[in-house]
């Protein structure tokens, strides 16, 4: 019998159980990006944890971000062990999430990979597709990425830690004031990210005019993963942000090209990026640069 319980934090033993479940899901779904050791991925930190045990084994898990997104909605990540799918576990976890949040319109639930089973659970619980996050990718070999073209007076340079954080955060907030997560980036969060193993200031491009930041392209390099992209390291167009006052002049494309050429020069075979499914202008730009759809994540809402 499934026993469902909420806990405010995970102890060492339960963290091990959750990691085992996430790794089992990753072996089948290629998601989430969890490692065999070290901290759990950031999307499972803080908030509340929902544990579903059956005969002492963790068969379902959900994390609820109680701090909410930029619009005050609580966001959940839900994973069912591959061996226990289509047995009512996901439905029971969704019921517990709805009961916990209380206000149905204040809950969003991610389904990574757009699985039909997740769609069926969502429909039964009265949820509908509210957001699509596309993962696009491009094979670097043969990609014809020209030199970026900048307007007169605009120059490119790379990020300087300890100097550029506030300017980047300010432009990011203006560029993504519509976005549920990205627009909330703080100086403290950016500074903390600079300590990550993957952070590379040389791959963080800033566009300026007369000392004023107009936009940026922050790239990322993921280490080789046997379960994805042929087991090779992969580059990412991590964030491209352009101040609304500087949009419409090709600056976003120029910044994107600068980052892509940098990732190509690093010897990477593939580059990925995440883009909102309804961001038609951005998708058009990326398509012209050779990107095609790789996968899609769906966020469900009532």
Tens of pLDDT, residue by residue over 41-56, are 888 989 999 999 999 9
pLDDT digits (tens, 9 = 90+) for 26-42: 888 888 888 888 889 88
What's the pLDDT band for 248 if we cut at 50, 70, 90?
Answer: confident
Residue 131 has pLDDT above 80, yes or no: yes
Q: How far apart are CA 116 and CA 277, in angstroms?
A: 18
Q: Output the six-digit token pair for 198.
A: 């993957």
Read off the DSSP letter of residue 276: E
What's the pLDDT band for 190 if we cut at 50, 70, 90?
Answer: very high
Residue 214 has pLDDT above 90, yes or no: yes
Counting residues of the chain whose pLDDT is more than 70, the rounded percentage is 100
Measured CA to CA in angstroms, residue 137 lies from 218, 234, 235 at distances of 17, 10, 10
The reported pLDDT for the residue numbered 104 is 78
DSSP reduced 3-state for 224:
coil
Segment 166-190 shows an average pLDDT of 94
DSSP reduced 3-state for 85:
coil
Beta bridge partners of 4: 52
Across all residues in the chain, what is the average pLDDT? 93
Measured CA to CA in angstroms, residue 67 lies from 18, 47, 54, 75, 110 at distances of 21, 7, 29, 9, 16
Residue 105 has pLDDT above 90, yes or no: no
Segment 153-174 shows an average pLDDT of 97
Write out the E strands in the chain. Answer: 2-7, 48-54, 57-65, 74-80, 107-112, 128-139, 154-158, 204-209, 212-222, 234-242, 270-276, 292-301
Q: How many CB atoms lie within 10 A of CB 193?
A: 14
pLDDT digits (tens, 9 = 90+) for 44-99: 989 999 999 999 999 999 999 998 888 889 999 999 999 999 999 999 999 999 99
Q: How many CB atoms lie within 10 A of CB 26?
A: 19
Q: What is the strand order of the sheet 107-112 is part of?
A: 2-7, 48-54, 57-65, 74-80, 107-112, 292-301, 128-139, 270-276, 234-242, 212-222, 204-209, 154-158
Segment 222-240 shows an average pLDDT of 85
Beta bridge partners of 107: 74
**What does pTM read for this prediction?**
0.86
Residue 279 has pLDDT above 70, yes or no: yes
Segment 181-201 shows an average pLDDT of 94
Residue 227 has pLDDT above 70, yes or no: no
């Amino acid at each position: 019998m499934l026993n469902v319980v909420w806990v405010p934090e995970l102890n060492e033993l339960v963290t091990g159980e959750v990691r085992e479940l996430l790794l089992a899901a990753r072996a089948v779904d290629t998601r989430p990006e969890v490692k065999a050791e070290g901290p759990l991925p950031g999307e499972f930190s803080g908030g509340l944890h929902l544990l579903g045990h059956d005969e002492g084994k963790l068969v379902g898990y959900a994390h609820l971000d109680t701090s909410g997104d930029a619009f005050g909605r609580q966001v959940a990540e839900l994973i069912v062990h591959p061996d226990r799918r289509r047995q009512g576990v996901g439905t029971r976890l969704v019921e517990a999430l709805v009961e916990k949040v209380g206000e149905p319109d204040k809950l969003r639930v991610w389904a990574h990979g757009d699985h039909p089973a997740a769609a069926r659970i969502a429909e039964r619980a009265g949820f509908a597709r509210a957001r699509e996050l596309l993962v696009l990718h491009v094979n670097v070999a043969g990609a014809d990425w020209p030199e970026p073209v900048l307007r007169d007076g605009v120059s490119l340079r790379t990020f300087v830690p300890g100097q550029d954080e506030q300017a980047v955060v300010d432009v990011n907030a203006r560029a993504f004031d519509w976005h549920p997560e990205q627009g909330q980036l703080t100086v403290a969060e950016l500074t903390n990210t600079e300590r990550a193993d993957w952070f590379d200031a040389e791959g963080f491009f800033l566009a300026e005019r007369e000392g004023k930041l107009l936009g940026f392209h922050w790239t990322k390099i993921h280490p080789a993963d046997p379960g994805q992209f042929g087991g090779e390291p992969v580059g990412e167009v991590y964030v491209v942000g352009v101040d609304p006052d500087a949009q419409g002049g090709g600056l976003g494309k120029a910044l994107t090209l600068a980052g892509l050429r940098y990732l190509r020069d690093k010897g990477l075979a593939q580059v990925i990026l995440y883009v909102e499914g309804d961001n038609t202008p951005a998708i058009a730009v990326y398509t012209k640069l050779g990107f095609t759809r790789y996968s899609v994540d769906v966020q469900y809402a009532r």
